[in-house]
Amino acid sequence: MKIVLIGAGFGGLRLARKLNNQKGIEVILIDRFNHHQFQPLFYQVATAGLNGSDISFPLRKVFHNSKNVRVRLTEFTQLHPQDNSITTSEGNIKYDQLVIATGAGTNFFGNTQFEKFTWPMKSTVEAMEVRNHILKNFEDALMETNALQKQRLLNIIVVGGGPTGVELSGAIAEMKKYVLPKDYPELDFNAMNIFLLEGGPRTLANMSEKSSRQSRQYLESLGVVVKTNALMQGYDGKTVVLADGSSIESSMVIWAAGIKGNIPTGIDASLIARGNRIKVTRQCMVQGFENIFAIGDVAYMEEPAYPKGHPQVAPVAMQQADMLARYFKNLIKNKPDKRIPEFTYFDKGSMATVGRNLAVVDIPKPRMHIGGFMAWMIWMSLHLMLILGVKNRFFIFLNWLYAYFTRDQNLRLIFKKYY
């Protein structure tokens, strides 16, 4: 049985590993990158806390001893369900079973200005570009004589009050407090402002009220200006205009306000749900097909506890991958009951970190909220466990240990060919 997996994110990679060396199954894993990217730590790459290589792991290394999983570095361009094939940038590939795990990309909500002038952060490369631009702005501010332009270079705006926006704002605030004044003693960092703009009434809207309130308190204690109900209406690369008519000067706006599913060409428009996600059954089957599946951020599944679809987080993708792995194994073993059970998401909790010793954790069963140092330790431990590779875990731990005792991020490097 030939299974083609499109996407090596949390869901696609998990499924490939579960099917590794399974007799009777051939797996083709397709991705446009040759590495798995640990998205929860993009913000640390963007703020010079970690190397890009620390949170990325070569796909081929994962399957060094595999007899049945093969990696293809190519881009999936179109689906042809009528003849069980897909088109990629390197040609056509046939399948018996197809799993779409293409994840999600940045959602600019159709605003071309935002897409042109703001900085997204949905890949390791984009996170490194954010770091480059932040540091280059400070270099330019040293030489800038125009007061307005200098203020634009110093101000940083993060759009989106979800975990990424909260974590990124906190990390930049700690840079401002402990690192940047030493790097740039000629600049007055009292004039630097960090804004977190959230269109809704509170930060961390998908977490508890207590976590939301606490995260805001943590951010404000670090000097971040948190603005809720602050919808961004326009941006020309210099001035952010909000819906209430107010404006903020900045040449560095980081977009963490929304995501949308990466849907391939060939999916019928009637199967596309809100958020650009593919409608699937409770068995992860794309509606109307028995051998095409979608999992993770790109899949839209309704269940009683989640009538508007699952949250677009890694545990959903991984649990769906586990369910499909069991189904494919049963299918190849000709077990009497080959039906896929209905998927039910088991929510183990949510968490976000704001800075040194500051984090929030919500556990649903038993209902519990943890904040501060203990939550921060839980956050660090869990993220270390989820990182692929002993070497990566080791270097991340060393970087965190160094930063904790020195209050310094030692990776403030600008990697770019030309400016």
The residues annotated as belonging to the active site are: 167
Radius of gyration, CA atoms only, the chain: 22
Alpha helix stretches (DSSP H) within 288-341? 314-332
| CA nearest neighbour of 100 among 122, 127, 81, 124 | 81
The rounded distance, in Å, linking the Cα atoms of 140 and 249 is 16
Residue 394's CB: how many other CB atoms inside 10 A?
Answer: 13
φ, ψ dihedrals at 355, nearest 5°: 180, -165
Q: Which two tokens stand for residue 306?
A: 């989640």
| CA nearest neighbour of 99 among 74, 79, 83 | 79
Alpha helix stretches (DSSP H) within 67-146? 112-117, 124-143
| Separation of first and last alpha carbons in the chain | 50
φ, ψ dihedrals at 115, nearest 5°: -65, -35
Reading across the β-sheet that carries 247-249, which strands appear in turn?
A: 232-235, 239-242, 247-249
What letter would DSSP give residue 258? -
Got the DSSP string for 213-226?
HHHHHHHHHTTEEE
Could you give the 3-state DSSP secondary structure of residue 13?
Answer: helix
| CA nearest neighbour of 206 among 273, 256, 262, 161 | 161
